[in-house]
A and B are shown apart, each in its own frame.
Chain A
Amino acid sequence: MRLSRRTSQLALVLTAVLTLLIAAPLARQAAVQAQSSNQNQLTVYSPQTTYSVPLLDVNGQSYVGLVDLFEPLGTIDARADGKKYKFRFTAPGGRPLESQFNEGKDKSKVRGENYKLPANFVIQTGRGYVPLSAASVVLGKLLGTDAQLHPAARRLFIGNVPIRYTLELRPGNPSHLLVAFSSPVNPSIATEPGRVRLTFRREPVVSSGADTVPYSDPLITGATFSEHDGLAEVDVTGTAPLMANFADGGKTIIITGAPPPPPVPQEAPPPAPPPTAPAAQPQPKAPAAPRFLVLIDPAHGGNDIGAAITPDLPEKDVVLALARRLQHELASRGIAAGLMRNSDVAISLDQRATAANATRPALYIALHAANTGRGVHVFTSLLPAANLSPGGFLPWDTAQAAFLDLSGSVAGSVAAELESRKLPNTTLPAPLRPMNNVAAPAIGVEIAPPGDIVEEIASAPYLQQVAQSIAAGVAAVRSKLPEVRP
């Protein structure tokens, strides 16, 4: 039996469409999965904080997650509804601003205005991603301020945050190069023979003029600015070993020749006669100022996803969102807080304890999430009380035993704040790693869904309530916790 030519063509088209419908999502998924393992990071500098956001590579184009991008800047509520992705952002003290994106489409509506994305919107495991080149526009529209993207360097500047610098060469013997910044900086400094490299990871340092400045000086031959991989570098070259010193409260870095190494004595010199006048004694270095730092440890990360709260919602993401809110809430109460991780990276349990002990925080808070139970569980270490001095040598396995009383005080205070906000809570000791190894007051906080709907564990209002409770609980017992010298 023969079909008409038109029917044959129709059958062919139908076959092609069916094949495409089945193959396209699979191919895209494979492409995303193959490339997501090679994630890059975008460094975002805002007036409030500096943070890193993982980038997703989709078909050779960099994408950034809206939740990752906006979470440190305010309150967000995002949900995928089929192919639609609804995103609500509320800046601190501001009103909610709505946006809507469509998977596989470049048309979007940001704050009520139509905006054409430079490439199609992507939804991956329930999260919405915009092309990196659109990040500054979306940020600008929702924050109401300018945002500048340096795409090649993967650096994004929100508002008037860039730190600029000037170079001034003072010839002499030896010559000095003064690098003066508009704000204090704290770069890592690496020296090699004839070279000093200043690396700025957290400071939004940008070039003020020419990137390369040559000098016809016998010691310092040039300075070069570069930015790449989410950081900036100032590279100073010379004809002899160089060294860098801070001045002007960290606003100036002076680069000059390094002193020659002391000669190696061949023989013991004869004893010097006693000085007739008292020699100038070196002044003892002033002790560093005490500081009160809370170290927040969002558990898991990288390949270790923790509990699967839902198939699309891993514990590692929930706790990172909570950690960022908690850091913000503590800062609003005048308490400095650091994050053990501010991106999706894997850190082993021993590494966490080692880093915590090296940081010497006034308080260590481990954050966890689970899909079983209700409300918030506050934990202290499950160790028998031991008569250990916090200042002495502490055994690794039971370091926490010396701080159990203080840890219990913090846990009680946090539980009281949770109670006052009518959040169901339980406080008890738990064998939670790595709390036993932490030589500082330490608590663990595990959030479970607030009610029957598991997905509400990641809702903005719930996370905010929990973060406020923890921060208020810490603030209430701050005077009991010893400030620790760095």
Chain B
Amino acid sequence: MTRRIVIIFAVLVVIAFGLAYYAVQLKKKVARDEQLAAQQALASAPAANGTPTPVTLYLASDSDGTLRRTQLSVALPPERTERARAVLRALFGQYLQSGSPHPIGAGADVRDVYLLGDDTAIVDTNSAFANAHPSGVLTEELTVASIVATLNAADSQIQRVKILVNGQERETLAGHADLHRFYEAGNIGAVVKDLQ
């Protein structure tokens, strides 16, 4: 065996380790970019039309298991379902920010909000919302309660809410919270009081 072979082998080993390091860094960068893109998409979408209006968001915090009311100025379209969607996207935008006290899956979004009659809202979320949602009874309940309470605060006529994922019914959000059922705003309101 010549020294040349040994050198080639050593160079190949160094290249292999270098490529592995590069792949790890690339994966981290892609994840960061995706999260940033999702945040920017959510932040910019509602601003397309409508006038900035103060809305009440119920923001969850995992560390102490609470829901807190907060005001945020959101550009709200005049149409009722579009307005509901814009409010929920603003809520998701808060959760998608880095350092959020209640992080949800990167890329989570609200595809549409439909109204059944005057009082029932169907919230259609995308797959990333459920597939990447942290798993746990309390953390999933905080998300559901936050959506229902925020919708009810933005549109007091909405008394019942059902959550779909990618247009389909789903058994649970991330293994715990029931997504088959309709949530009553009054029922959730009692929970929100407990959580404040």
Contact = CB atoms under 8 A, between A and B. Distances in A.
B138 A372 contact: yes
B9 interface: yes
Interface in B150-191: 171-172, 174-178, 180-181, 183-184, 187, 190-191
A2 interface: yes
Contacts of B1: 3, 8, 11-12
A315 interface: yes
A370 B138 contact: yes
B9 to A, nearest CB: 6
Interface string A418-438: 000000001011111100100
A349 interface: yes
Contacts of A15: 9
B2 interface: yes
Contacts of B9: 11, 15
Contacts of A308: 135
A429 B195 CA distance: 10
B181 A431 contact: yes
Contact of A3 (B2, B62, B136, B183): B2
A379 B184 CA distance: 18
A306 B135 contact: yes
Contacts of A431: 141, 144, 177-178, 181, 183
B13 interface: yes
Given A2-B2, A3-B2, A433-B176, A349 B171 contact: yes
A397 B134 contact: no
Contacts of B172: 349, 433
Interface string A290-320: 0000000001100010111000000100000
Contacts of A1: 2-4
A377 B178 contact: no
A373 B3 contact: no
Interface residues of B, number: 36
B191 A307 contact: no
A307 B2 contact: no
A397 B178 CA distance: 11
A15 B1 CA distance: 12
Interface in A83-127: none
A465 interface: no
Given A433-B171, A436-B178, A428 B194 contact: yes
B138 A373 contact: yes
Given A370-B135, A384-B187, A432-B178, A377 B65 contact: yes
Contacts of B187: 382-384
A446 B65 CA distance: 13
B177 A432 contact: yes
A446 B136 contact: yes
**Top 4 A-B pairs, shortest CB-CB distance:** A370-B136, A307-B135, A372-B62, A8-B1
Given A1-B3, A436-B178, A446-B138, 20 more contacts: A1-B4, A2-B2, A3-B3, A11-B9, A15-B9, A300-B175, A306-B135, A368-B136, A370-B136, A371-B136, A372-B62, A397-B180, A428-B141, A428-B191, A429-B190, A429-B191, A432-B141, A433-B171, A433-B178, A446-B137
